[in-house]
Amino acid sequence: MTDTLWFGVLAVPAYLLGTFPTAILVARAGGHDVTAEGSGNPGASNVARIMGWRAGLLVMAGDLAKGAIAAGVGLAVSGRPAAYILGFLAVIGHTYPVTRGFRGGKGVATAGGMLAVLNPLVSLVLAAIWFVVARVLKLASVGSLIIAILFPVGCLLTGRAGWEIGITSALAVLVIIRHLPNLKRLFQGAELRTDGTNPPESGVN
């Protein structure tokens, strides 16, 4: 089967895999609506804010799996280019899901799952950086923005091909765009914290 045919067969399933509503289902099982509480974002950080770190980790694992499965299938059937394409489509599905009016999550965990398959060393380092930043500052968004910027830097430092650096740069731009509301709140001193101790300006108790 040609690469083009593989792409045609797997592109839509990869996108639909990304739309799987991990955060919504976990929150609903706990009696919450993650889209109406906290920041309203259907992602691991907001679930952790609402329900605690165990629920947040469960969502993170599910979202990581979406990116990892898509990239892993692409890698198995047609090599690294297909892995990047299918992984990226899963991230698009997560951030812009057709099943929820194109209103999805921020894409960090799903992108992380994709990178874990394609560049595991860089992925481990970035995961550690995110954890430290989120733990110290209690601001998951800051950690996410930092590691997004470091996506392509990690590929560059590990000697990956130019096209891989280009794709991870595009991935970084997507994540940053999805975090624009967070950036606005950060500049206003009203960004939501992961431990629930939100500033009065945030309007969230």
Q: Residue 122 in contact with residue 174, Cβ under 8 Å?
A: no
Q: Residue 34 in contact with residue 23, Cβ under 8 Å?
A: yes
Does this model's pTM top 0.75? yes
**Sign, Cα dihedral of 91, 127, 149, 182:** positive
Helix (H) or strand (E) holding 179: none
Distance, in Å, from the CA atom of 147 to the CA atom of 153, rounded to the nearest integer, reads: 9
Tokens linked to 125: 């380092």
Distance, in Å, from the CA atom of 139 to the CA atom of 49, rounded to the nearest integer, reads: 11
Question: For each of the chain's 205 residues, which pLDDT tens digit applies?
Answer: 566 677 778 999 999 999 999 999 999 999 999 999 988 889 998 998 899 889 999 999 999 999 999 999 999 988 999 999 999 999 999 999 999 999 999 999 999 999 999 999 999 999 999 989 988 887 888 989 999 999 999 999 999 999 999 999 999 999 999 999 888 888 887 777 765 555 444 433 3
DSSP secondary structure code for residue 91 in this structure: H
Tokens linked to 89: 């489509």
Domain positions in the chain: 3-196
Residue 176's Cβ-count burial label (10 Å; 0-12, 13-18, 19+) is middle
Using left for φ > 0, alpha for ψ between -120 and 50, and beta otherwise, residue 40 falls in left
